[in-house]
Amino acid sequence: MRKIVGMGYEYKILSGPIKSGISFGNDLKVFYFIMACVISVSLIQNIYAQTTTEQVSLSGDLQNNPTAQDILDKIERSKKMIEKLQAKNFETLERQKELEEKRTEALIYLNDDLKKWEDLWGHYTFDKMVERALENSPAKFTDTIYDHPLKFTASKINAGRAALYNVVENGGGPEEARDAFVNAAQITKSEMISANALYNVLAGNAYYNQQILFDSDGQFNLNLFGDKLHKYYLDYRTNPGYLLANPKDTSSWNDLSETDPDTHCRDDYVLIYREHAEDYVCVTEYTAEMWQRHGMGSPVDKKIQTIPNELTRIQMNHDRISEKVLGINLKIQKAHEDYEAQIDKMEKKHDFLFVELEEKQKEEKIVLHKLNTDEISVENFSTQITDIREKYSAVEKNMIKEKFQILDIMEKSLKNNLDVLISKYEHDSEIKINWNTEQNTYGVTMRI
């Protein structure tokens, strides 16, 4: 047996007879044929690529060799198998290509349909509605989002869209994106109330100094802030609503004292020029603000600042809480002032009673005079003086006792009134209630 090494393969050639009965011996032609067949089988793809148009055939003695015939048959079967596999792969690739083309075509149709749909219904979208609403509105060129209701709503929707896109870009799912949109775009009750108040102020439908008296939930405390509203409508003759509705009521129009343009009004009053009467009068700042807003008059000395510059919801909320704190502290102060007034009244009352008591004690002088004129005896004098002093001593003790009882009642009443007032705000998250040990009373501050 001999070993032949080539092309990375090792072959063994038998010198003796093969089981089939064919002896190769030193027949180099058979050896070369076997080598070609083995290499062809091992590199079948390359062979197929080179023999797709060629037919492998036998010649000479190999035509009658069964082994060679068998090898040749296997080569042909392998070629046919590879052809089928490549044909199948080609069909798959063709189907995928056709599918991709159909997908591309369907996507084009879908985009065309979507564009037609957007063109058809785009007029009714919220963005288009905002665009139409702001077309001829001064709010179109302002930076604030509170001078038009739709601008505030649009800001919330845009915030929701931004939150949604952020989730999608970071690989979030549809449910997470939807939740992000809802959380960013939702409008709370307090936001709606404050935005509404801001819009009314900026649009001239409400007074800023009145709007900040409302609480965050839109409630108005008449007991606490009613006196502030009275400043606006203290006199119906200064109420623009009444004057504009009753233009023929000349007495109300002309009832205010006329003056000249060089007049200096007293504190808290403003000199204003009245358009309808073409004269000058002194009115409160609140009346001047109303007349200026309604175009009924113009302040002479200064411009009435009705709205803070660059008003924002944060500033309005801060001013609203400040007014609340001021109002509560004024209420506490008023409770103490009422208490002090009651004490003063009681002191004066008892002082008057003590004066009367001193007057009645003059009875002792009368008894003493009777003694000096011998109208009564010494024993009778002592008895009468003792009776007088015991009577008025008991009266004085009762008056002092009554005074302390009244003081105790008033102190308890003061404490109860303060407790009731503070109890209304003990759960208010916007303010902080403190106890002032020096003044022995409550104090309220903003919760920062």
Q: Does 84 map to a domain?
A: yes
Does 16 share its domain with 73? yes
Across residues 157-175, what is the average pLDDT? 94
Q: Does 385 map to a domain?
A: yes
pLDDT over 70, % of the chain: 76
- Answer whether residue 388 shows pLDDT above 50: yes
Does 360 share its domain with 397? yes
Does 429 share its domain with 345? yes
Q: Does 134 map to a domain?
A: yes
The residue from 261, 287, 311 where one domain ends is: 311
Does 279 share its domain with 361? no
> By mean pLDDT, which of 63-77, 110-124, 195-209, 283-297 is the weakest?
63-77
Q: What band does 23 get if pLDDT is binned at 50, 70 and 90?
A: very low
Is residue 440 within 8 A of residue 347, CB to CB? The reply is no
Does 306 share its domain with 339? no
Q: What band does 295 get if pLDDT is binned at 50, 70 and 90?
A: confident
Global pTM value: 0.57
- Answer whether residue 103 shows pLDDT above 70: yes
Amino acid 359: pLDDT: 60
Across residues 351-359, what is the average pLDDT? 66
Q: Does 336 map to a domain?
A: yes
- Answer whether residue 123 shows pLDDT above 80: yes
Q: Does 357 map to a domain?
A: yes
The residue from 255, 280, 311 where one domain ends is: 311
Amino acid 179: pLDDT: 95
Does 84 share its domain with 162? no
- Answer whether residue 178 shows pLDDT above 90: yes
Does 324 share its domain with 435? yes
Q: What band does 297 get if pLDDT is binned at 50, 70 and 90?
A: confident
Amino acid 152: pLDDT: 92
Is residue 86 within 8 A of residue 93, CB to CB? The reply is no
Across residues 168-195, what is the average pLDDT? 92
Does 290 share its domain with 372? no
- Answer whether residue 16 shows pLDDT above 50: no
User: Alpha-carbon distance 256 to 237, whole Å?
Assistant: 8
Across residues 383-389, what is the average pLDDT? 75
Does 321 share its domain with 289? no
Greater pLDDT, 7 or 416? 416
Per the structure, the complete domain to which residue 137 belongs is given by 127-187
Amino acid 180: pLDDT: 95
Does 332 share its domain with 434? yes
Q: Does 345 map to a domain?
A: yes
| For the ranges 81-85, 234-238, 316-320, the one whose mean pLDDT is highest | 316-320
Does 302 share its domain with 343? no
- Answer whether residue 48 shows pLDDT above 70: no
The residue from 155, 187, 219 where one domain ends is: 187
Q: Does 422 map to a domain?
A: yes
| For the ranges 166-180, 206-220, 367-381, the one whose mean pLDDT is highest | 166-180
Does 275 share its domain with 180? no
The total number of structural domains in the chain stands at: 4
Q: Does 238 map to a domain?
A: yes
